[in-house]
Structure 1
Amino acid sequence: MIGHVNGVVFGVFVFLFLLVTVLGFAAARWRRAESMDSLDEWGLGGRGFGTFIAWFLIGGDVYTAYTFIAVPATLYAGSAVGFFAVPYTIVVYPLIFLFLPRLWSVSHRHGYVTPADFVQGRYDSRPLALAVALTGILATMPYIALQLVGMQVVLQVMGIGADETSNWFVKDLPLFVAFVVLAAYTYSSGLRAPALIAFVKDTLIYLVILVAVFYIPSQVGGWGHIFSTVSDSFATFNTENADAIAAGDAAPKAMMPPPAAQWAYASLALGSALALFMYPHSVTGVLSTRSRSVIRRNAALLPAYTFLLGLLALLGFVAIAAGVKVDNPQQSVPQLFEEQFSPWFAGVAFAAIVIGALVPAAIMSIAAANLWTRNVYKAFLNRNATHAEEARQSKVASLLVKFGALVFVLALSKDFAINLQLLGGVWVLQTLPAIVIGLYTRWMHRWALFAGWAVGMAWGTWLAYGVASPVQQHFGGPLVNFPGTETKFYIALLALLLNLLVAAVLTVAFRAMGIAEGADQTSPQDYHVDAGDAGVDPELDAEAPVHA
């Protein structure tokens, strides 16, 4: 299986993976309360993480392994629109500074574990809460699958399972083993496992990227040479493929978005920023913090990851200048590391990316499991479920989610997995009106919000279905022409605009018809409470003794 794998690279990789495995199981005893048999403990880490831990956890949650592979791969392939990831991760933090402290307060006052819990309490609507929960699960599944895609890319560059003629056992066993280990320590430790592992993951990622950005350019002629080489390469491609580009059979390559792509760039950045903290795993990371101040401080500190992401994106250009040749652009950065780093540091780099897949995959599976438990199982199947029964449901559901994603990625085309994940942003953004607007006002009618969600989901999915790409006829990308124009625009934002329009119009109509709006379980002061206030559980004591 590993006959053509460099022994040093593989040895360093395995050592770091085993280190993370030990940490994952040890996390069950880290900051442990008397019992793990509740979603507050297993699914939210005791709601007691401070600024330092939360910075690593949320950063490890948001900046996934696939991010570290896909962003530079887009630039390697010549699409300057790929830089949208940098401004979107800048725009997102002022947004979360505004609304997430309010969500934290009302969730801690009422014991909400998921965003759908808040929607149920705010609008007194189980159907609307179910819609939010199922949307979150639906959007999260392919996101987990993409962490597997990122891991596969690294393993293939290392030489494990790279031969397409290999049988399934040779190709997929390492991936299966990695996810069995992930499933085991997540089941045992809950959110504490990815929180503890995130320290190692982010330290390795920062080390690898900073070394790559300073060391590799010095080996290939410096940044001036890199940009000059990339510019010449793109110009040559555009000249040689002018007829195909004119016919629409090929896309021009550019270092800066041309005028025709600027709205695509801007809408992708804004839509992605709005969607990022609608994903349930992002909310899970936020609700695990001990106070509103922790969220605000993290909103100020997390842009440090954006700096890292900007440097990482440039590695796509560095790979071109270094002469990296791969058929799959996603392999460009791992291949660059393979060729430019010494074997031991290449092992560190590959381990960093794979560990960078395990952290978000764990948080995503926990978040999806919590949605199932609170908003499907307890809401519809067992309304009298105890805290212990909820924890058991989530543990089992987290296993099913992980292995569902594993089957998904092993059985289907990788291009299908990637493009289906693009729908995740379209889908999850349709929950924004119920969650974010609901944090500030209850003006919108619950059935109008449900109708807006349904229309946005249907139209967004239909638009995405109609997008073709060179590798598939449907679900080929995130952009369509803005209605009545030739300007490319992000599908998720178009669907959200229709969602909001339908919800606003029907709110007026339903109010005029006198349709019942349900009882609001929250009060205005609930959105401002902090740790230590009446009705808000105290944080865990970080200095408390560990229980055996």
Structure 2
Amino acid sequence: MRDPGTSPGTGPGLTVPGARPPAGTDRRGSPALNRGGTIRHAIAAGFVLVVGCAVLAGARRPPSDELPHPVHWALGGRGLGTASTCLLLGGTIYTSYTYIAVPGLMFGTGGLALYALVYTMLLSPLIMILLPRLREIGAKHGLITAADYVRLRHGSHPLALATALTCILATMPYLGLQVVGMTAVLRSVGLAPDSIAGCAVLVVLFLAFALVTQPGGLRACARISLVKAVLIGAAVVVLLALTLARLGSPGHIFQLAGGRGAAMGESFGVPPQNFTAYATLALGSALAQLMYPQVLLVAMASKSKDTLRAATTFLPAWSMTLGIWAFFGVAAFAAGIRTAAGHGELAVPALIRELAPDWLAGLLFGALAVAGLLPAVVMVMSMAMLFVRNIYVEYLNPTATPKHEVRAARGPALAIMAGAIAFALLMKPQDAINLHLLGGVWILQLLPAVAVSLFTRWFHRRALFLGWAVGMISGTGLLGLRGFSTVVDIGGGAVHAPVYVAVIALALNLAVAALLTPLFDALGVPRGTDGTAGGPGFERRGSKYAFVVE
């Protein structure tokens, strides 16, 4: 998800729509809300109660007779049923930043934000087409990460290393944004995230979840996902009831928002000239989401391909909740909520502070915190496994046992969590968002080597590697030269079309791979052995040890 930093308003507080703002304030700045210590304590109590319940739900050690193994720790033994897969997949894709940034985007830019809803709706059919097939190959050959699959399918160590590094590099800012989402909650209760108290709260939250998930792995995350689903569902119902009771019917709210937007020269519709940007943002974001390692990890953990397909049919329910959260962004705009310039993510927390009693606000903020902590932990696990299996073991310790892999993954997991907190605290929110946009461009460049190769082996492995390099360089360059603008105009003369940068980079990636494949074949460059078609299997670099999972 993204927030372009064009959020309207500045500080919490309901005002009469159309009324002049208080003296000394405008749409871009207002005094901070100052509420008493007793109120903060009430909010803190509700926050701690909700987060504590989530931690207790996941606190269960693995069976004593179960040997440490990456498949058990990172994939839950590939035994997640339909309900667990659905809850964990939805809980991983729909993050706290999603629930904060999408309404913030509606609050700041209007109808263009609806691309996020379209892209989440596109996810279900795309997952059904791609991920069950990848899950079957992974289960058959003992694969855990996307880099494992690339190494086996294409027989290419450089391409597998590029896949692992791209996944880690692109996911780190995504992980950092989960922390940014939680800092928005802290700011809304008057606690500066970069203060000692704010840092302490973030560290304690992550440590609590780390202590639960370190021994339990993905199984603990699956249990917490049930708590998240209940919390988010309850939060939607409660906040919707409060909004309608205070502001009137949805039609009235949209009418108020439309009137305020018209007065400011803004619209909650999608301008016709932005249609190509809207469409490519939706399609590119959906394809990119499939390549993130946390999504692939959950898909690999499902009990079977049929289980994964059945679980995917329920994902639109998560999109429905996201649509309601987007409506809260419209409600905040209609109500005259104001946030600091570039902080549209504060719109919904400000709305909660204004509409809910303090004890209830604390519960709602706790729900948002759990919504961010769960996907953050799954991201950490997926990145730790990529580092251990595809970098540490592949190049430094090829004879490592499965038990050693699990132990080796826990250290990097804690380091990644610490890095995410530092990332979010040391960087400005807008810089973090820009890096996340860049991460989306990067992760999409894995589509040919991973998703396309599930259906064809026509592309040469070296052509895929060079196509990946061209896509990474061109996407990074376009985004950087355009000041991190997500769309660029293409065309000439009187014909111009704004297009998502990641889609342009992917097109160049595929074009290079398609042009070079016949050339490499004509030159007789070896293609490499396809391990998924009865080859030698997944072997570690420099070792004859073949990794096999019973």
Same fold by TM-score, threshold 0.5 exceeded?
Answer: yes
The aligned residue for residue 49 of structure 2 is: 15
Indicate if the aligned counterparts of 2:111 and 2:269 stay in contact, CA closer than 8 A: yes
Indicate if the aligned counterparts of 1:430 and 1:496 stay in contact, CA closer than 8 A: yes
Separation of aligned partners in 1, 2:438 and 2:52: 34
Letter in 2 for 1:503: A
Structure 1 residues 121-173: Cα deviation after superposition (integer angstroms, max 9, x where no partner)? 011101000101100000110011000000010011122227xxxx7313322
SS of the residue corresponding to residue 107 of structure 1 reads: helix
Letter in 1 for 2:211: A
1:174 Cα deviation after fit = 1.1
**CA shift in 2, pair 1:132/1:537, >3 Å:** closer
Letter in 2 for 1:463: L
Q: Which moved more, 1:195-204 or 1:5-14?
A: 5-14
Separation of aligned partners in 1, 2:451 and 2:109: 36
1:343 Cα deviation after fit = 2.2
The aligned residue for residue 349 of structure 1 is: 364
Letter in 2 for 1:17: V
Separation of aligned partners in 2, 1:502 and 1:394: 36
The aligned residue for residue 386 of structure 1 is: 401
The aligned runs of 1:66-81 (5 Å cut-off) are: 66-81=97-112
Separation of aligned partners in 1, 2:288 and 2:377: 20
Separation of aligned partners in 2, 1:288 and 1:322: 44
1:483 Cα deviation after fit = 4.7
SS of the residue corresponding to residue 480 of structure 1 reads: strand
SS of the residue corresponding to residue 446 of structure 2 reads: helix
1:33 Cα deviation after fit = 6.7
Identity of aligned residues (%): 40
Q: Which moved more, 1:342-351 or 1:500-509?
A: 342-351
Q: Does 1:507 align with 2:517?
A: yes
**CA shift in 2, pair 1:234/1:87, >3 Å:** same
Q: Which moved more, 1:295-304 or 1:490-499?
A: 295-304
Q: Which moved more, 1:78-87 or 1:458-467?
A: 78-87
Separation of aligned partners in 2, 1:353 and 1:2: 22
**CA shift in 2, pair 1:510/1:49, >3 Å:** same
Indicate if the aligned counterparts of 1:5 and 1:158 stay in contact, CA closer than 8 A: no
The aligned residue for residue 290 of structure 1 is: 303
Consecutive unaligned residues of structure 1, counting only runs of 5 or more, are: 239-252, 469-474, 527-534, 539-548
Separation of aligned partners in 2, 1:278 and 1:388: 27
**CA shift in 2, pair 1:434/1:2, >3 Å:** farther
The aligned residue for residue 498 of structure 2 is: 488
The aligned residue for residue 322 of structure 2 is: 309
**CA shift in 2, pair 1:332/1:125, >3 Å:** same
The aligned residue for residue 194 of structure 1 is: 221
Q: Does 1:155 align with 2:183?
A: no
Structure 1 residues 29-77: Cα deviation after superposition (integer angstroms, max 9, x where no partner)? 4xx4733521101111111010011111111100000000000001111
Select 2:61's aligned residue among 21, 28, 36: 28
The aligned residue for residue 209 of structure 1 is: 236
Separation of aligned partners in 2, 1:537 and 1:375: 17
The aligned residue for residue 222 of structure 1 is: 249
The aligned residue for residue 270 of structure 1 is: 283
**CA shift in 2, pair 1:10/1:263, >3 Å:** same
The aligned runs of 1:329-348 (5 Å cut-off) are: 329-348=344-363
Structure 1 residues 225-250: Cα deviation after superposition (integer angstroms, max 9, x where no partner)? 21111111111111xxxxxxxxxxxx
The aligned runs of 1:368-407 (5 Å cut-off) are: 368-407=383-422
Separation of aligned partners in 2, 1:227 and 1:139: 36
Q: Which moved more, 1:11-20 or 1:482-491?
A: 482-491
Consecutive unaligned residues of structure 2, counting only runs of 5 or more, are: 1-34, 537-546
Runs of 4+ with >6 A deviation:
535-538
Q: Does 1:59 align with 2:85?
A: no
Select 2:331's aligned residue among 292, 301, 318: 318
1:424 Cα deviation after fit = 1.4
Select 1:95's aligned residue among 102, 107, 126: 126
Letter in 1 for 2:291: M
SS of the residue corresponding to residue 438 of structure 1 reads: helix
Separation of aligned partners in 2, 1:362 and 1:160: 23
Q: CA RMSD in A?
A: 2.0
1:5 Cα deviation after fit = 4.3
Indicate if the aligned counterparts of 1:28 and 1:190 stay in contact, CA closer than 8 A: no
1:266 Cα deviation after fit = 0.6
Letter in 2 for 1:112: L
Q: Does 1:237 align with 2:264?
A: yes
Structure 1 residues 183-235: Cα deviation after superposition (integer angstroms, max 9, x where no partner)? 32222221122211111111110111122224412321221221111111111
**CA shift in 2, pair 1:305/1:126, >3 Å:** same
Letter in 2 for 1:35: E
**CA shift in 2, pair 1:85/1:50, >3 Å:** same
Letter in 2 for 1:14: V
Structure 1 residues 442-470: Cα deviation after superposition (integer angstroms, max 9, x where no partner)? 110000000000000000000110122xx
Letter in 2 for 1:281: Q
Indicate if the aligned counterparts of 2:57 and 2:227 stay in contact, CA closer than 8 A: no
Separation of aligned partners in 2, 1:47 and 1:146: 29
Select 1:435's aligned residue among 430, 441, 450: 450
SS of the residue corresponding to residue 229 of structure 2 reads: helix
1:342 Cα deviation after fit = 2.2
1:2 Cα deviation after fit = 8.7
1:88 Cα deviation after fit = 0.7
SS of the residue corresponding to residue 531 of structure 2 reads: coil
Q: Does 1:409 align with 2:424?
A: yes
**CA shift in 2, pair 1:326/1:406, >3 Å:** same
Separation of aligned partners in 2, 1:216 and 1:502: 52
Separation of aligned partners in 2, 1:76 and 1:445: 46
The aligned residue for residue 546 of structure 1 is: none
**CA shift in 2, pair 1:151/1:2, >3 Å:** farther
The aligned residue for residue 529 of structure 2 is: 519
**CA shift in 2, pair 1:57/1:27, >3 Å:** farther
Separation of aligned partners in 1, 2:500 and 2:84: 34
Indicate if the aligned counterparts of 1:4 and 1:159 stay in contact, CA closer than 8 A: no
Q: Does 1:6 align with 2:40?
A: yes
Indicate if the aligned counterparts of 1:2 and 1:160 stay in contact, CA closer than 8 A: no
Separation of aligned partners in 2, 1:439 and 1:391: 28
Separation of aligned partners in 2, 1:331 and 1:363: 25
SS of the residue corresponding to residue 277 of structure 1 reads: helix
The aligned residue for residue 459 of structure 1 is: 474
1:310 Cα deviation after fit = 1.0
Indicate if the aligned counterparts of 2:39 and 2:358 stay in contact, CA closer than 8 A: no
